[in-house]
Structure 1
Amino acid sequence: MPLSRFIASFACAVVTLIAPLPVQASNADKDLYGDINDSWERFGAVYGRVVEHYYQDVDHEQIMRSAIDGLLRDLDPYSQFFDAEGLRQLLQDTSGQFAGLGITVGLKDHYPVIIAPIENTPASRAGLLPGDLIVGIEGRDTFDLGLEQIVNRLRGEPESTVHITISRRGVENDWDVAITRELITIRSVAASGQVSPGVGYVSMRQTRFSEETSEEVAQAIRQLREDGIHSLILDLRGNPGGLLSQATEVADLFLEKGAPIVSVRERDHDRAEIKISQRSPLFGDLPLIVLIDGGSASAAEIVAGALQDNDRALLVGTRSFGKGSVQTIFDLRDLGQAALKLTTALYYTPSGRSIHRQSLTVSPGALLQVPA
């Protein structure tokens, strides 16, 4: 395509993208869209020169995908674009079943970091720990890879093997681990029982908040009540979070109707969506301790923060991870099977604390490393 036609086509795409402007745009809006136009013009100029002058033919799909990934990576570690395969894996995550290693990963220092291995999975049996950096996959450096690329490389067919390179703080040399993938079915309640007569224990340790979490927790506690417990320990150590809706429903099990659980604040900080308990608590009379640690993140921090701020539970353990952002999934169906996961808000505990990059803390007397 001649460069003049390419630039004309690109300009048409830009006009289509930003055309629906308000009829009476404010000066701030005019400045905003003026900046957008300037940015697109710069991008179009660079893209046009690449198309016309690069020494070999370019893969336009790959270039645009790299541009999108770079844009989102510059925002934060949690915003992502999903193609058809990535979207399929995202749906697997929320449904609670996929084929892989059994770890939840984030990004730290430009490398994938293990937030938590799921109990009794290939990753946990291989000895991987929260905080381990995955610095290589199949001999290829993972520096600056996006989360979707990392997940695509770690997942695969059941019984296939993946080789990863691990870096751990306090260990001088990196080392390689060969792990065989399995079909991972995640139950939110890993175990339940009595740790001593009358003291119930529900473990959500190294699991996640998926579609059936609140019902699993409620069923476990009902059984413990039938067995005669008079107090409860809820273990959220190593739990990387998951669905916000399930976090509010789990908190709902313990809080009085109308109690605040979490507020979600978007870019306009004057507006906040406050989520409150919707029903009388099923287990409002049970004295409650919640265990947290550096692997407790996102939805797990919402539950712990809500119970702490409403004086409903004592937190015991160490500082939590500090992931207090909310991601919204935007369906990009007009582009085929694609979606955008974008950080759109921060959440705050009932007392107004932002956990994002700050962590939940426990009272001095309860700050301890609880044995695994």
Structure 2
Amino acid sequence: MNFKPRFVALLVTLAVLVGAAGTYIGMQYFGDPGGQKQTANADQGAQNFGSLSEEEQKEFLDKVGNTDLKKVEQAYSVIKDNYVKDVDQQELVEGAIQGMLDKLDDPYSVYMDKDTMKQFNQTIESSFEGIGAEVSMVDDKVTVVAPIKGSPAEKAGIKPNDQILKVDGKSVEGMELYDAVLKIRGKKGSEVKLQIDRPGSEDLLTVNITRDDIPLETVYSDTKTVDGKKVGVLEITSFSEKTSDEFKKALTKLEDDGIEGLVIDVRGNPGGLLQDVEEILKQFIPKDKPIVQVEDRNGEKSRYFSELEKKKDYPITVLMDEGSASASEILASAMKEAGGYDLVGTKSFGKGTVQQAIPMGDGSTIKLTLFKWLTPDGNWIHKKGIQPTVKVKQPDYFYTNPVEIKVALKYDDTSDKVKNLQTMLEGLGYDPGRKDGYFDKETVDAVKAFQKDAGLEVTGEIDEKTGGKIEEKVVKEVRDDKNDLQMKKALDALFK
């Protein structure tokens, strides 16, 4: 790099003196999935300019340019002394910082003031309250990366790539990401109403979610039997401070129980701490290939290796989907390119940058993108994602949308809502004959059959009550493990 992180922080600090994630809703990690939590030391964080040596001061000023800093100082003074209203000096300072970060056009580089950092430090290390979804700013819209497993957001049907347009009836357009998140967060037991724009859906969706405690348990263990062989399943929902320890304990127990294969499930995992995914990969990737590569702005690469002599003596597959991002993609790419293991599912999210937290000395922090991360073979997957080696989607009804019916749907209607419900009915075993959105006679018969079995009035029309019952049964089917085609394929791929 042209200058060290301390100088990045100083640039902003001096602009203040002479002159500011993606994010979890609830929150677990502020910024990117796949960021790198970092404590301050001599080379990281805001420094007092006067504490630098004369040589370091000269180096810094040469790099940022005296003229540019004087321009910032002049603008600050003009606004503070002459604007028609009194202005809060701290707001000007933070506005200057935020303005510089906005110019980077990078949703993962963010400024966190003291209050934000206080909440961040609480939520990265403990449970938190909220809806349990990780969001980022994509094309200036608050966009869901993934809901957290078992969270209110997941139970309410929130999906990756959902765009949040309104919160409790108020638009979040033009807001900074964290300001929007503050509106979505709230105390356990309170309710929030979100207006959602979902790709592929013609109508906007309204989703009511009751906030709850979101525990930070990140590793879930299970065993399954395939052709008489015991297989371990380890699901990682995010990579936080204790994830690698949790994973190691769970894996040791599975191995002690005699597993003959392993599935690592990172579907819907939005990422987290880089060092935790590294520690997990060191248990699987031999030392002859890097786990991950990190590239700075000058193209200089650092490669990270394990000390493992050989691979595990049992087969492994990795499950991923469009909600698998950043640290999850580091895991998937290393297991594929350095381990030779199959990736099962659908293409991943595509987030290939690394952030570091740079403390500003007053409790606030800049989280700045400093590096790209590359796969073991040197590929950069940013905005591209990783393709599975074994591609498999879930059944079509897994991708249907919540039902909102104000006027009953009936014979001869045509709409995306009808198409959505036809897909649901087919998934429940009631064949509507078509899934193109036209409410024909066969769809009427399918609705009547469903209403009869559900104990509803048999009308052949889909009103709010019938639609709600269809959705309820679809949600139940989605949560039933027997319908998880991706898991079935991952298990089958172990021994084929």
TM-score by length of 2: 0.65
How big is the shift at 1:353? 0.7
Deviates more, 1:175-184 or 1:111-120: 175-184
How big is the shift at 1:264? 1.2
Structure 1 residue aligned with 2:276: 246
Comparing both structures, which one devotes a greater share of its residues to strand? 1
SS of equivalent residue, structure 2 residue 153: helix
1:286 corresponds to 2:290: no
Distance 1:33 1:109, change over 3 A: closer
Structure 2 residue aligned with 1:101: 131
Deviates more, 1:287-296 or 1:158-167: 158-167
SS of equivalent residue, structure 1 residue 358: coil
Give the counterpart letter for 2:315 in structure 1: P
The residue correspondences of 1:13-92 to structure 2 (distance < 5 A) are 13-14=17-18, 22=55, 32-34=63-65, 37-75=66-104, 76-92=106-122
Instruction: Determine if contact 1:202/1:221 at 8 Å carries over to the other structure.
Output: no
Structure 1 residue aligned with 2:195: 165
How big is the shift at 1:317? 1.6
Distance 1:190 1:21, change over 3 A: farther
1:353 corresponds to 2:379: yes
Give the counterpart letter for 2:387 in structure 1: T
Determine the C-alpha separation between the residues in 2 that align with 1:173 and 1:156. Answer: 27
How big is the shift at 1:253? 1.4
1:304 corresponds to 2:351: no
Structure 2 residue aligned with 1:198: 229
Instruction: Determine if contact 2:134/2:270 at 8 Å carries over to the other structure.
Output: yes
Instruction: Determine if contact 1:164/1:177 at 8 Å carries over to the other structure.
Output: yes
Give the counterpart letter for 2:393 in structure 1: Q
1:274-301 Cα offsets, whole Å, 9 max, x none, are: 11113456x7112111111111111111
Structure 2 residue aligned with 1:119: 149
Which of structures 1 and 2 has the larger relative contact order (alpha carbons within 8 angstroms, sep 6+)? 2
Structure 2 residue aligned with 1:136: 166
Instruction: Determine if contact 2:18/2:72 at 8 Å carries over to the other structure.
Output: no
Structure 2 residue aligned with 1:369: 393
SS of equivalent residue, structure 2 residue 67: helix
Q: Which entry has the higher C-alpha Rg, 1 or 2?
A: 2
Distance 1:277 1:99, change over 3 A: same
Structure 1 residue aligned with 2:206: 176
SS of equivalent residue, structure 2 residue 160: coil
Structure 2 residue aligned with 1:316: 344
1:316-346 Cα offsets, whole Å, 9 max, x none, are: 22211111111111122x32x2222111111
SS of equivalent residue, structure 1 residue 190: strand
Determine the C-alpha separation between the residues in 2 that align with 1:66 and 1:95. Answer: 29
**CA-atom RMSD in angstroms:** 2.8
1:145-169 Cα offsets, whole Å, 9 max, x none, are: 3332233222222222223221111
Deviates more, 1:155-164 or 1:307-316: 155-164
Give the counterpart letter for 1:159 in structure 2: G
Give the counterpart letter for 2:326 in structure 1: S
Determine the C-alpha separation between the residues in 1 that align with 2:305 and 2:169. Answer: 48
Q: Which runs of 5+ in 2 are unaligned?
A: 1-13, 20-47, 396-483, 485-496
How big is the shift at 1:23? 7.3
Instruction: Determine if contact 1:192/1:202 at 8 Å carries over to the other structure.
Output: yes
Distance 1:213 1:133, change over 3 A: same
How big is the shift at 1:127? 0.8
Determine the C-alpha separation between the residues in 2 that align with 1:288 and 1:327. Answer: 30
**Of the candidates 171, 177, 190, which is equivalent to residue 147 of structure 1?**
177
Give the counterpart letter for 1:55 in structure 2: V
Distance 1:140 1:67, change over 3 A: farther
SS of equivalent residue, structure 1 residue 274: strand
How big is the shift at 1:11? 8.7
Determine the C-alpha separation between the residues in 1 that align with 2:195 and 2:297. Answer: 39
Instruction: Determine if contact 2:284/2:339 at 8 Å carries over to the other structure.
Output: no
Instruction: Determine if contact 2:264/2:318 at 8 Å carries over to the other structure.
Output: yes
Give the counterpart letter for 1:362 in structure 2: P
- The number of aligned residues is 352
How big is the shift at 1:241? 0.6
Determine the C-alpha separation between the residues in 1 that align with 2:136 and 2:57. Answer: 42
How big is the shift at 1:230? 1.1
Give the counterpart letter for 1:130 in structure 2: P
Deviates more, 1:175-184 or 1:284-293: 175-184
Task: Report sequence identity in percent.
Answer: 34
Structure 2 residue aligned with 1:338: 364
Determine the C-alpha separation between the residues in 1 that align with 2:54 and 2:156. Answer: 54
Instruction: Determine if contact 1:199/1:233 at 8 Å carries over to the other structure.
Output: no
Give the counterpart letter for 1:81 in structure 2: Y
